[in-house]
Structure 1
Amino acid sequence: MHTSDGAGVRLNRIIAQPHLDHVDPFVLLDEFRSDNPDDFMAGFPWHPHRGIETITYVVYGAVEHEDSKGGGGVINDGDVQWMTAGSGILHQEMPQKRDGKVWGYQLWLNLAAKDKMVPARYQALDDEMIPVSEQEGLSVKVIAGAFGDATGPADTYYPIDYFDVRLGEGSRFAHRVDSGQEKAIYVHSGSVVVDPDGEAKVVEQGNFVILGEGNEIVISGHEADSGFLFLAGVPHREPIARGGPFVMNTRDEIHQAFEDYRSGKLY
């Protein structure tokens, strides 16, 4: 769903929209991708979060980050910023002008009720820290979780997989996930063939697919230079209450988050 957020950044909201509220434990996925600086230069000025982790992955471009806990820096090509909002944090993310282009993603990972008020923290995962598993015609960037001989550097509260997969026509991505995990892909380039229920299905660029039952995932490239994000995680199966930048379990907790923000207690 095409929308805008922050100070007017145009983006594609994949999760957290009328047709797809969440894929537990993932409660938001945005793609920001443009070669028009007017679409993104206004950025995301200072705003709060509580109850989630925000994961910003810049495929191309540069985004400057600063937060109320002293974290910050510039997120460049291939870098990831993994921010645990926990009990509360303020931050801003401001794109930098480079060739007039930017491409990246923000993923929100819901924290379980027992972890919603953990201390805030920041992980800067530079591109050179993030391993890439290379096989014939296949490249898997492992931000979190493990694939082949690569283990992602993210320190996570729960086992999750977050991969950026690139593959050529006919190349295969084969991966086994643990029982009970929710799993999905977002095709960001080209097209791929998914076999969720024994029937091959071509998925074109710009489509999001929740994968069905079963632990074995097999996805093939349908054309050259195809790619997708792969997400997998164990659902919390807890109530989800949203209020702008806050994700809690009850409306009372959302009201408290806003009150704490207004009174300066949130950060």
Structure 2
Amino acid sequence: MKVIQVRKASPTQDGAGVKISRVADFSGAMLDPFLMIDELKSDDNADFIGGFPPHPHRGIETFTYMIKGGFEHQDHMGNKKAIRGGDVQWMSTGSGVIHSEMPLATDEGMHGFQIWLNMPAKDKMRAAIYQDSVDSPLPELVDEQGSKLRALAGQWHFAGQSVTSPLKELSSGGAIADLTLAANGTAEFDLSDYDLAMAYIHTGSLDTANGGRGHMLVLDSQSAIQLEASAQGAGVLLFAGNKINEKIVHYGPFVMNTHQEIEQAIADYQSGKMGRLSL
């Protein structure tokens, strides 16, 4: 396995004071088509109770995955869903979405991810699309070691089997999976059909340099990918996708290709052209 780069998630805050660990690249140089991976992990409600009140997006796709705890998603298109442990939710925001994500009352703490993907210029002004897995449980595969792969998005091959998530239309063929490795468990993947492959360690550790929790390994997708857990096992979020290779201009919740498009997004939001969310 060839590791091209290692990135350590950095602590920060977003929304109404939600504490997160973030890996981001808005240059398009390294993580394309992914822009940002936020991990929310805390047993202290004060770290996330403020949630993400109503806010806009344009030009990106947002992907939420919950391991434990949950959020209630609501948007101006009329979608209102509780996203709990094991669920995912995807929005291809296109020309604009107003939405909120507020934590569900729970005493189990929270662990989940909010992920941004870029959209190619030709799709940035199309109508928004929404999908979740609440009524369609995500498929899982288990190998003889007891390791498990949950297909969050796209198609995956694991333990001699293939599985496809019901969410399969992510930008640039994006694919995401949650891999749970047993103690000293191993897994191999062929992601040579993709330009990009990454592994983010969210639980336990891998038996490799920089394989500790909170590390993102950017991998050579054209080489065989071999992951081995330490004696404590590991939880790893896997990413694959194809590069967009377009100029990125980022301002807050908007990701476009020119400064003029950003200015138009701000004007459209302020004038109400993106819609309004009634809570």
- Assess, with a 3 A threshold, how the Cα gap between structure 1 residues 220 and 127 changes in structure 2: closer, same or farther: farther
Contact preservation (8 Å) 2:57, 2:98: yes
Question: Amino acid of the residue matched to residue 235 of structure 1?
Answer: K
Contact preservation (8 Å) 1:15, 1:29: yes
Cα deviation code 1:33-57 (max 9, x no counterpart): 1111111000000000000110011
1:11 to 20, 33, 44: 20
1:219 to 227, 232, 248: 227
Cα deviation code 1:64-109 (max 9, x no counterpart): 1100001121101111111111110100000012115011000001
Moved more, 155-164 or 34-43: 155-164
Aligned residues: 260
* Partner in structure 1 of residue 148 of structure 2: 139
Contact preservation (8 Å) 2:13, 2:19: yes
RMSD over aligned CA atoms reads 1.9
Q: Are 2:76 and 1:68 aligned? A: yes
Question: Amino acid of the residue matched to residue 167 of structure 2?
Answer: A
Q: Percent of counterpart pairs with the same letter?
A: 38
Q: CA deviation at 1:16?
A: 4.3
Q: Distance in 2 between matches of 1:263 and 1:161?
A: 35
Contact preservation (8 Å) 1:179, 1:215: no
Q: Distance in 2 between matches of 1:6 and 1:57?
A: 17
SS in 2 for 1:129: coil
Q: Distance in 2 between matches of 1:17 and 1:158?
A: 16
Q: CA deviation at 1:220?
A: 1.1
Moved more, 204-213 or 45-54: 204-213
Q: CA deviation at 1:145?
A: 2.0
Contact preservation (8 Å) 1:49, 1:90: yes
Matches within 5 A, 1:83-232: 83-126=91-134, 129-137=137-145, 138-147=147-156, 148-156=161-169, 157-193=171-207, 201=209, 203-212=211-220, 214-232=222-240
SS in 2 for 1:153: coil
Question: Amino acid of the residue matched to residue 15 of structure 1?
Answer: A
Question: Amino acid of the residue matched to residue 56 of structure 1?
Answer: T
State the TM-score, normalizing by the size of structure 2: 0.88
Q: Are 2:46 and 1:33 aligned? A: no
Q: Distance in 2 between matches of 1:21 and 1:99?
A: 40
Stretches of structure 1 lacking an aligned partner (at least 5 in a row): 195-200
State the TM-score, normalizing by the size of structure 1: 0.92
Q: Distance in 1 between matches of 2:62 and 2:185?
A: 31
Question: Amino acid of the residue matched to residue 166 of structure 2?
Answer: P
Q: CA deviation at 1:170?
A: 2.8
Q: Are 2:252 and 1:238 aligned? A: no
Q: Distance in 1 between matches of 2:140 and 2:100?
A: 29
**Superposed structure 1 runs of 4+ greater than 4 Å apart:** none
Cα deviation code 1:151-171 (max 9, x no counterpart): 111031432220000002332
Moved more, 154-163 or 46-55: 154-163
Q: More relative contact order in 1 or in 2 (CA 8 Å, sep 6+)? A: 2
